[in-house]
A and B are shown apart, each in its own frame.
Chain A
């Protein structure tokens, strides 16, 4: 390739090696003398462990458990706090909790050995649903199973607003589990090389793994090296969860001192990995006789599972997005992270925002229809504008161009003609949704917690990008090389950006929260500008550290202020036809518009938009994962159905140009935004087609019948 202009669409730097089958994912990687590991997991939701009987092990096979954690270490993984145990010890808190690792050369033998491990349990009362936990069927966390909570409020008094209302509309919305189904399953290896532990991982956040398992071993994070392998999809599923593999592996490697690989098969990855939080959102919204909203009181419950992991942060994002893209005269939101004896829930693209955004969109649709108003026109009256107040009493800093975006999608889809033509219950429907996503870490997290760094190193004509941010399919390695190439004016082939190795790069923070382009990309652009000016100085390095933009006050103790540095914005229209006999929903059209500032690469953005929207439609239409007594019922790709190429038609998509002042080339975050709204547009269309309100997703055809039968 040649010199890149920022406006040129690029071929991804990793496209050929991946398409040729030459990229090295962890499963393709070999080390001399390598062994495999298999997890021994809890089969009970909550129980005391009375005894563990290990079968006789062939030579070269090992059973590794909490007893093998070295002196000075702790049976904990330091995710956001010391929380999740490395190995269950004395008791188990969810089905699938790691009790031990079996390690040896032959995976078939490990599989057989695992079946022979006998664990004697004393079962304890468990809570495995939100209701059981809230009713305190058993108390497993604190006094009331609420692991974390927060409240925020804006505008005038919500209580007064509700008192003045002519009608209070109370509605409850629920969303289900969602499984990431990254095509590459969770995979981590550990080796001891030159006196140091080295982790090889399919992961989003190499520096997270280091911190997490240093705690287990009683080491300093910098004592451990983490090398990211080519990562076959993540979507949040490889943000904190690789720690759960890496912890037991480093303990095993410490004892055995041989390379050990832990590669989940699909069934394990489905049944025993983190998921998106199931949620319940309850609105009490006061309206006057014209349907105008006076205020809303929102209660939000997320099923966090047995350990906190990232749930408090996920919950905060859910609360901060619960009023959607709207400004109401008064709003209050309460969030509760509920402990259950279920597999812990964690990050998934959108990170808590999709649940509440789905809920507010459906709620707005329902109120509009109740008053005979068109949902698009109704929602438009409440669009947030620049300078207006958010749910956290912060302000929208950027120009909001939702009106323009609405026009793009309604014109392209012929929305206003179709809503008139497709009568309620006619079998045909069209729905519209509006959504946003706060870019980067919440509040002052970028400033107070992450403090991202990035280094550029010039050697001759070549420039190397040294930071911990990872490629997981979203295109980050490509756009970073493009930023450097275009900024300095050098051939993109002279820009190097390898998968990070924590001993060689600086910590640019986790690859999460739609922050990488916006925060790390901006550091990269700044460093490249300086390097261009000093180009003639020979070989040198430039290091840049995050600087917080002025004018974003935030108080983390009270959750007041600007929750985000800026938002991405979206609008989506979905058109459907519903078969009256089978309830099969056929999607006839998908239109979207997004404000992501100004894109770094239009083709890469195109792929993100398409992929995010299809994941969101899968979430609404088909991806059903149920938990019964703490065990997932869907454990394979035959029974947990995700979209194929036949399920949805080609998308029509738009961007608006609205450059963001603190992003590279005016870009802001977009990876999660594009997940946040197609689900509600789809359900809005289905509701119009069947002439019924709906209150939950996923909504596969078999569940639609129940809605239609409801009187």
Chain B
């Protein structure tokens, strides 16, 4: 079996194993990147969201064989960047975090949105996180926090 090479949080890495293994398992078990959570295992809840070439994907329904040559960013790769810190600070300040299980995925969804639309409207934000389920907050404070990040991080995206 040939190795699968991809870029993970800015570093070129190789995966040697079953190409049908789910990306979420490769990240969590293979690379110990446990910030990415599994919520449903069928691409419905968004807790396992990561960026693939800058776009939001659910890593529980992507076989690792399908990301050969791609650039994957997880919460661990985002959290200490200026953009990541800005989003996380806004989430803390805006009261977006309750149980927290969906939140790394939400942060990734916010990043994916702001990368392509640095000045989103409320409707843009609601659409951008519509694939990320949160059972605690009812979403308003997450939406507000992403709008806050967009204002406070003016120029970062």
Using a CB–CB cutoff of 8 Å, the interface residues on chain A facing chain B are 9, 11-12, 14-16, 18-23, 25, 27-28, 180-185, 230-235, 265-267, 472-475, 603-604, 606-607, 609-615, 636-638, 642-646, 648, 650-651
**Chain A residues within 8 Å of B134, by CB:** 183, 645
The contact of A638 among B44, B97, B129, B142, by CB within 8 Å, is: B44
**Chain A residues within 8 Å of B132, by CB:** 645
Could you list 11 examples of A-B contacts with CB < 8 Å?
A9-B95, A16-B88, A18-B99, A19-B97, A21-B37, A233-B98, A266-B45, A610-B139, A611-B135, A614-B139, A645-B139
The answer to the question of B23 belonging to the interface, with a C-beta cut-off of 8 Å to chain A, is no
Interface residues of B in 84-104 (CB under 8 A from A): 87-88, 91-93, 95-104
Interface string of B116-142 (1 = CB under 8 A from A): 000000100111011111111111111
Beyond the given A610-B139, A637-B42, A646-B126, please list 4 additional residue pairs across the A-B interface where CB-CB is below 8 A.
Answer: A19-B96, A28-B34, A615-B135, A643-B139
**Chain B residues within 8 Å of A181, by CB:** 133, 135
The answer to the question of B72 belonging to the interface, with a C-beta cut-off of 8 Å to chain A, is no
B34 to chain A: closest residue by CB? A28
A233 to chain B: closest residue by CB? B99
- Decide yes or no: A636 and B35 within 8 Å by CB, A12-B95, A15-B91 being known contacts: no
Contact (Cβ within 8 A) B37 A27: yes
**Chain B residues within 8 Å of A638, by CB:** 42, 44
Contact (Cβ within 8 A) A606 B95: yes
Classify chain B: how many residues form its interface, as a range: 35 or more
The answer to the question of B65 belonging to the interface, with a C-beta cut-off of 8 Å to chain A, is no
The 3 A-B residue pairs with the shortest CB-CB distance in the complex, in nearest-first order: A21-B35, A473-B99, A18-B100
A612 to chain B: closest residue by CB? B138
- The docked-state distance in angstroms from the alpha carbon of A213 to that of B42 is 33
- The docked-state distance in angstroms from the alpha carbon of A183 to that of B115 is 26
The contact of B103 among A19, A604, A645, by CB within 8 Å, is: A19
Total residue contacts A-B, CB cutoff 8 A = 170
**Chain A residues within 8 Å of B47, by CB:** 183
- The docked-state distance in angstroms from the alpha carbon of A184 to that of B139 is 17
Contact (Cβ within 8 A) B92 A184: no
**Chain A residues within 8 Å of B35, by CB:** 20-22
**Chain A residues within 8 Å of B97, by CB:** 12, 14-15, 18-19
Residue among B45, B91, B99, B143 facing the most chain A CB atoms (10 A cut-off): B99
**Chain A residues within 8 Å of B34, by CB:** 21, 27-28
- The docked-state distance in angstroms from the alpha carbon of A614 to that of B100 is 17
**Chain B residues within 8 Å of A651, by CB:** 138, 140
Contact (Cβ within 8 A) B133 A637: yes
- The docked-state distance in angstroms from the alpha carbon of A4 to that of B26 is 43
Contact (Cβ within 8 A) A232 B101: yes
- Decide yes or no: A266 and B98 within 8 Å by CB, A16-B88, A19-B107, A473-B136 being known contacts: no
Contact (Cβ within 8 A) B130 A613: no
Contact (Cβ within 8 A) A15 B79: no
The answer to the question of B40 belonging to the interface, with a C-beta cut-off of 8 Å to chain A, is yes
Contact (Cβ within 8 A) B92 A636: no
The contact of B99 among A16, A183, A612, A642, by CB within 8 Å, is: A183
**Chain A residues within 8 Å of B100, by CB:** 14-15, 18-19, 23, 230, 232, 473
- Decide yes or no: A183 and B135 within 8 Å by CB, A14-B97, A607-B98 being known contacts: yes
Contact (Cβ within 8 A) B141 A182: no
